[in-house]
Amino acid sequence: MKKEHRFLMPVLLSLLLTAAEVVLVVLFIRNLGSLILAAAGDETFAHIFGQLSSARIVPPFFLPFGLWLAFLLYVYRRGCSATRVILLVVPLGLLLLIYILFFANVNGVWFGSVIVSLLRYASHGLFDVL
């Protein structure tokens, strides 16, 4: 590979991995209503979360891209074995997926704050009447 293009592969892989995680999070949030209906059969929550299918979703992109890029440059420069790379990619990918989901901006509100609020209500038994 030419000297000018030696870091092109890690950059492209970082973009690809970040884009894949962002697309997964957006698809998950948009289809949350149908997932709840299929899993729990609760039409009330399915209708509430079904409104997310037309929401404006802006997931964070730069921090996951930077972390993937740093990781892949490290792997590229060190020449790690394939087993070690896979053992490091899976946990990093899951952590970044959770980060993107938690800090996704849905109509101006962090999705993580909605999750935390719902967990607080569930812990006090407020959903038992539904």
DSSP H or E stretch at residue 117: helix 111-123
Which residue type sits at 128? D
pLDDT score at 129: 52
Q: What is the DSSP string of 25-58?
A: HHHHHHTHHHHHHHHH--HHHHHHHHGGGGS-EE
Say which residue, 5 or 14, is predicted with more confidence: 14
User: What are the domain boundaries of the chain?
Assistant: 3-123
Q: Which residues pair with 58 in a beta bridge?
A: 105
pLDDT at residue number 118: 78
What is the pLDDT at residue 99?
A: 93
Q: What is the pLDDT of residue 126?
A: 60
Tokens standing for 45? 């929550």
The beta-strand segments (E) located in the chain are 57-58, 105-106, 109-110
- Res 98: pLDDT: 92
**Buried b / exposed e across 32-59, counting CB within 10 Å, b at 16+?**
bbeebbeeeeeeebbeebbebeebebeb
The pLDDT value recorded for residue 127 is 60
| DSSP summary character for residue 59 | -
What is the per-residue pLDDT across 108-128, written as a single tens digit (0 to 9) for each?
889 888 888 878 877 776 666
Give residue-wise pLDDT tens across range 27-85. Answer: 988 888 788 777 777 777 778 788 888 889 899 999 999 999 998 888 888 887 888 88
Q: Cα(101)–Cα(34) distance, rounded to whole angstroms?
A: 18
What would the pLDDT profile of 87-103 be if each residue is shown by its tens digit? 888 999 999 999 999 99
Helix (H, G, I), strand (E, B) or coil at 2: coil
At residue 23 the predicted structure's pLDDT band, cuts being 50, 70 and 90, is very high
